[in-house]
Structure 1
């Protein structure tokens, strides 16, 4: 088995990664960045996002494991105090995994014949900071509404607990094959109207946004951002690819949600 370790630059993560490397050195497991079987992320969700984008071209071949050293960790099942258990699980690996859907982002420019494709694990956001974003929204090629506001967020189920939730979107279980469209500060009055409610899109449907009278805007794909112009449309749909997590120890999703946002169990036990 070959393992790649991706870590952030905090001292705690560097220490934990060092301990993990020493433990793995005592086994037959090889640490390498070249064609790994498993990628171990040491840090928080941001570190795992970085690992995902670094190895997105190998999604059919790799599985991910998250070791949590931050505050919130929806993708991290392990902590520094159970590294020995993690190494034992790696030594007895049987190939099991749990997989979640990803977001396919297709960008078509006005002066190009072929679109560009990107993958997002959490969300993609179309937004503008110095004016009003205007765009026609289509659901499965059917015109739905003309949006005016700060922007639109399209999230995966696993990304629904992130930025999507902070702007009023719903929390979706990550096993659902669905996308969510959530408006950011939409403009609603007697003249301009939008649905003003998060929308959950079925797996056989897609979302298309066509910018109208918008010279440029910012497009984010997870933590990556770019300034875009001359865009004909952006299409969002569930990707064919999936992200796979090694299923040694997997925290129930609603336990993660409760722990991250409520902490009610801990208070109830007190």
Structure 2
């Protein structure tokens, strides 16, 4: 059966040229382009392009696997460079790859007066901030009150996203094979009156974390990966490790800790 593929581009001149080249090579090898129902999606650009591309295919996670081709430096989601196009194309045509699955984050927004929550998936993270003033909400874990948070905001990340915004907030780096989610604070208020845990929380896949606004008459800014939403009349936000998983097509070893070292630690001693 003919393999179907699609190539997504960052949109700049270099990425578009690489996209056209990959398409030509794969078509010459009798593969079929299908934007609607691809088995493989090749993202050409950077990690930001990869995030946008993955969201376009969240409805096909069980059928579609992803490959990252980076037009700059190697990223956490892109392990191929432009000079390796021919090697990649040959490996794709020979189906010389294995599938690696990693966890996603599921978020539900429950609003006042609405019986059906809005649901989203995230590959990296979801955050909540208040438009004006400090964010004040109750944090519940498995329906048990854990703390009342006051501060700039909260970030809930996947293991894959633990090296992104979560790391900048002082969160832990978590290997993406672990089925967990992480809750990290943004500038919490801690004094004689107010107190939070002050440390990132790493929760297993069977746990549910809820954020319940103390005052529902507030407006919040939510982010889900690259998307930003302004919401109000929020009763609660619910987070859990998603049942769905993202599938990567791996053609060669792509060690996570090597990526971490190469991205954040200098080779100079």
TM-score surpassing 0.5?
yes
* Match in the other structure for 2:98: 96
Cα drift, residue 129 of structure 1? 4.0
Offset at residue 251 of structure 1 (A): 1.2
Shift of 1:10: 2.1
- Counterpart-to-counterpart distance in 1, 2:12 and 2:152: 33
Partners of 1:43 and 1:241 lie apart in 2 by 25
From 114, 117, 127, the equivalent of 2:116 is 114
Alpha-carbon distance, 1:19 to partner: 1.8
- Counterpart in the other structure of 1:134: 136
| Aligned position for 2:59 | 57
Aligned to 1:191: 193
1:72 to partner: Cα distance? 5.3
Which 4+ residue blocks in structure 1 deviate beyond 4 angstroms? none
Q: Normalized against structure 1, the TM-score is what? A: 0.95
Q: Which residue of the partner structure matches residue 205 of structure 1?
A: 207
For the residues of structure 2 that align with 1:188 and 1:128, how far apart are their CA atoms? 18
The one of 106, 109, 127 aligned to 1:125: 127
The aligned length equals 266
Deviation digits for residues 199-230 of structure 1 (CA, Å, limit 9, x no counterpart): 11122112100011251110100000000100
**In structure 1, distance between residues paired with 2:202 and 2:195:** 19
The question of 1:247 aligning with 2:250 is answered yes
| Range with bigger deviation, 14-23 or 140-149 | 14-23
Query: Is the aligned partner of 1:41 residue 2:43?
Result: yes
Q: 1:237 to 1:162 in 2, by over 3 A?
A: same
Q: TM-score, normalised by structure 2?
A: 0.96
Alignment map for 1:1-270 (pairs within 5 Å): 1-71=3-73, 73-93=75-95, 96-213=98-215, 215-264=218-267, 267=268
Write the distance in 1 (CA, Å) between the matches of 2:99 and 2:69: 16
Gaps of 5+ in 2: none
SS in 2 for 1:189: coil
| Root-mean-square deviation (Å) | 1.3
Cα deviation, residue 249, structure 1:
2.2
DSSP 3-state at the match of 2:42? strand
**CA positional deviation for 1:110:** 1.1
